[in-house]
Structure 1
Amino acid sequence: MSDENQIYLPDSFLALYRDARQRLTAPLAEVRARYELCEDLAQQLDEHARSRSIHAHGSEFELLLRYHAGLAAPESGFNPAEAAWVVKRLSELLGWECPDLPGDPAREG
């Protein structure tokens, strides 16, 4: 088994790529690559957010919403569900409460 196949894909991310019958809507390799991209971005944003002074940039909610707005923009390369997942993951890493996010499948379904 290659190292690539040993990457754990959390259910919260897999849910972004499952249909009503719980089948993946994209090839597993593509889902795995998108997960790695999203998780890496959340880790990088964690470092970025920690280096920011919350007092200079508004509340934690406002900062998370700004990150989400950037990720949800069409030119970002992320779909709305991935954008919401990245920001929710970031809030977990930071230990911050996450605001309701547009495009969040958990919120809409």
Structure 2
Amino acid sequence: MSMCDDTLLCNYPKCRAKLCGFAWVTACSHAFCDQHGSGEFSRSPAICPACSSALSGKLDIVRTELSPSEEYKAMVLAGLRPETVLDISARALAFWTYQVCQCVAYDIHSM
């Protein structure tokens, strides 16, 4: 089993560090370690270092905790309609699928 199967890796070119603690996630579905995200996304305008997409929207870049507390998980979706929760879940699964595909492509190209 490769590291890509169960762990997010930094999408910053040449970094590929295992993400833990906090990560920066973009609207273009890329994830970055805290070090590279803090450096890259402090500039304006923000540009995704993985795909060069412009990130100008309020929620185009989010710093997120990768292991949220049980209290947070219990409340974050509370009150939302079931179809909204399912939509959020589908988007989260699509994000992970994309990350795994990117990891496989990176592994193939680095051979």
Same fold (TM over 0.5): no
Greater share of residues in strand: 2
Higher helix share: 1
TM-score for the superposition, normalised by structure 2: 0.29
